[in-house]
Amino acid sequence: MMTEDTISAVITALGQSAVGIVRISGADALAVSGKLFRAASGKSLADYPSHKMVYGHIYDLRDNSLVDEVLAVYMAAPHSYTAEDVVEIQCHGGIQALQKILSLTYAAGAKPAERGEFTKRAFLNGRIDLTQAEAVMDIISSRSEASLKLAARQQNGELAEALHNLRRQLLDVVVHLEAVIDYPEEDIEEITFGEVKKRILEIGAGISDLLSNAHTGRILREGLRTAIIGRPNVGKSSLLNALLKEERAIVSEYAGTTRDVIEEQLLIDGVPLVLSDTAGIRKSGDYVEQLGVQKTRDLLKDTGLVVCVVDGSEGLTAEDEEIFQAAATRPYVIIVNKSDLNVAATFDILKQRFGADKVMTLSAKTGAGMDEFSAWLKGYVYGDKETLSGGIYVQNARHEELLRQALHALKEAGQAASDGMPYDCIIIDVRRAIDLLGEITGDTVPDEIINEIFSRFCIGK
Ligand code: GDP
């Protein structure tokens, strides 16, 4: 499915750096590069074997002026990123050199690549499936080492393979049922409703397995959205500062992409936390007073974890109760702070009320109990698995949603089999599950969705 146009883009970051790369992809890649690149040997790039780095220069042929000293490499289809003919030119990394060389490729007939177009071509040309293409973006935007690891595995095709296996098994079921329908007089192995149901549920269990890790995968990818709430002076900012000290990687402030607030991102024991609106958190003692429980709930709506802080040395107040109420609509943990003072009574009461696994005590001031809190966070994210040793972690909300729908379709198919419905009815549900899984891998995905996915990439990817 070769696309007609030959495209080009700068594939490295635009800024000052030692090296920058311009990629040209498409049937005319060699012809385009031939109009600007001259090998020092005097030979043409096409005279060299594929994947051989060639030293030379870029010229602007319109006035024969020298532009830059470069290395060029030709990668013959299908052994390239896009599976098309590709030429990459490594030049000096300044914006001027890159832009100039890029404009020369346009003058030589290349079209500007759209967002994600190189990766999209790799997908359309069948080199990678959609999960692998999406993993490219995940690798680029990974927020933690664990997330990078998962994305790399996905890019390597682990998820794709698991999904293809599940689809194949479902197709076997369909083929078998259709054979029984189409050739009733033939001696096709009878299959009982009980057996059909068993097969379908087994395959459904495979999907459940994939879903069971999605919670972890999503947090590692997107970060755990965390809000620290509590009444004034319980120690929220002290806890935040203590966490920032614990943190073993870079803290960055960036404008959230989905909402216009400043978020603080930190890694606690490899778990990426996104503390939204730190300024707000600092004042969040006022949340409940000013906003009431309902508004606080609304604010917490897309929070992954609410950390409720109470001052254990003071006992509980009506205000604390309101904060618990608001927090309980989300996953939460209660921190009994100031354990360097006498907090035993409050700690016991809360453990009794909310369960020992939801209540922790620590001192933001002395740091006592902070390790336990980190361990709790890790447990919350990884469940009983602790590490990422094996298994496939679905990191992508799109995949998760489609897996859920496929599982639902299989449950309906299982139910239809239980009810002894005609084979046709069972087949419809199983086929729906097959299509939904195909939508994840890109086998049965509508064009608009493909375009939507790649439009989230940047130019040059
Ligand atoms: P916020 O209003 O909830 O953000 O509370 P702060 O973090 O500003 O803390 C309020 C007061 O409690 C400050 O004087 C802190 O020094 C003190 N504080 C915070 N954490 C602890 C703790 O663990 N032990 C003790 N003894 N004092 C603490």
User: What is the three-class DSSP state of 155?
Assistant: helix
- Beta carbon of 341 within 6 Å of any ligand 1 atom: yes
pLDDT at 280 over 50: no
pLDDT category, 291, cuts 50, 70, 90? Answer: low
- Whether residue 285 has its Cβ less than 6 Å from ligand 1: yes
Helix (H) or strand (E) holding 228: strand 224-229
Q: Is the pLDDT of residue 183 over 80?
A: no
Q: Is 233 in the pocket of ligand 1 (CB under 6 A)?
A: yes
CA–centroid distance, 337 to ligand 1, in Å, is 8
What is the pLDDT, as a whole number, of residue 290?
Answer: 54
Higher-pLDDT residue of 443, 84: 84
Q: Give percent of the chain with pLDDT exceeding 70.
A: 88
Confidence of residue 3 (pLDDT cuts 50, 70, 90): low
Task: Determine which residue's CA is closest to atom 11 belonging to ligand 1.
Answer: 233
Which is higher by pLDDT, 346 or 281? 346
Check pLDDT > 60 for residue 249: no
- pLDDT bin (cut points 50, 70, 90) of residue 386 is low
What per-residue confidence (pLDDT) applies to 455?
A: 86
Q: How many residues does the chain have?
A: 461
Which residues does residue 332 pair with via DSSP β-bridges, in sequence order?
306
Give the Å distance between the CA of 290 and the centre of ligand 1. Answer: 21
Distance (angstroms) between ligand 1 centre and the Cα of 341 equals 11
390-419 residue pLDDT tens: 678 888 889 999 999 999 999 999 999 889
Residue 324 backbone phi and psi in degrees, to 5: -60, -45
Q: Is there a contact between 321 and 293 (Cβ–Cβ < 8 Å)?
A: no
> Is the distance from the beta carbon of residue 238 to the nearest atom of ligand 1 less than 6 Å?
yes
Confidence grade of residue 187 (pLDDT, cut at 50, 70, 90): low
pLDDT for res 281? 42
The lowest-confidence range among 38-47, 62-71, 375-384, 428-437 is: 375-384
Closest CA to 273 of 300, 294, 243, 301: 243
Confidence grade of residue 297 (pLDDT, cut at 50, 70, 90): confident
pLDDT at residue 1 in the model: 46
Q: Is 365 in the pocket of ligand 1 (CB under 6 A)?
A: yes
Q: What is the mean pLDDT of the chain?
A: 86
**339 CA closest ligand 1 atom index:** 23
Segment (H or E) for 300: none
Report the separation in Å between the CA atom of 233 and the middle of ligand 1, taken as the mean of its atom positions.
Answer: 6
**The model scores a pTM over 0.85:** no
Whole-number Cα distances in Å, 432 to 197, 372, 412, 413: 16, 46, 10, 10
Lowest-pLDDT range of 132-141, 181-190, 201-210: 181-190
Ligand 1 centroid distance, CA of 236 (Å): 7
Ligand 1 centroid vs 234 CA: distance in angstroms? 6
Q: Which residue has the higher pLDDT, 386 or 58?
A: 58
The predicted structure's pLDDT at residue 241: 82
Does residue 288 register a pLDDT over 60? no
**Is pLDDT at 86 greater than 60 in this prediction?**
yes
Interatomic CA distance for residues 157 and 161, integer angstroms: 6
Protein residue whose Cα sits closest to atom 14 of ligand 1 = 233
Half-sphere exposure of 10 (CA within 13 A, CB side): 20
pLDDT over threshold 80, residue 423: yes
Q: Is 237 in the pocket of ligand 1 (CB under 6 A)?
A: yes
Q: For residue 363, give the ligand 1 atom closest to its CA.
A: 23
Of the residues 229, 236, 238, which should be mutated to test ligand 1's pocket, given the most ligand atoms within 8 Å of the CB?
A: 238
Write down the pLDDT at residue 445.
Answer: 85
Whole-number percent of the chain with pLDDT over 90: 52
Q: What is the pLDDT of residue 329?
A: 86
pLDDT bucket at 164, cuts 50 / 70 / 90:
very high
Lowest pLDDT segment from 39-48, 244-253, 367-376: 244-253
Q: Looking at residues 124-153, what average pLDDT do you find?
A: 87
Give the pLDDT of residue 105. 97
Q: Tell me whether the omega of the peptide bond preceding residue 184 falls within 30 degrees of 0, making it cis.
A: no
CB < 8 Å & 24+ apart, contacts of 58-67? 58/89, 58/91, 58/101, 58/104, 60/36, 60/100, 60/104, 61/35, 61/36, 62/107, 67/36, 67/97, 67/100, 67/101, 67/104
What are the tens digits of pLDDT across the range 197-224? Answer: 899 999 999 999 999 888 888 888 888 8
* Banded pLDDT at 286 (limits 50, 70, 90): very low
Query: pLDDT category, 128, cuts 50, 70, 90?
Result: very high
- Note the pLDDT of residue 269: 79
pLDDT in tens, 353-375: 999 999 999 999 999 999 999 88
What pLDDT is stored for residue 441 in this prediction? Answer: 93
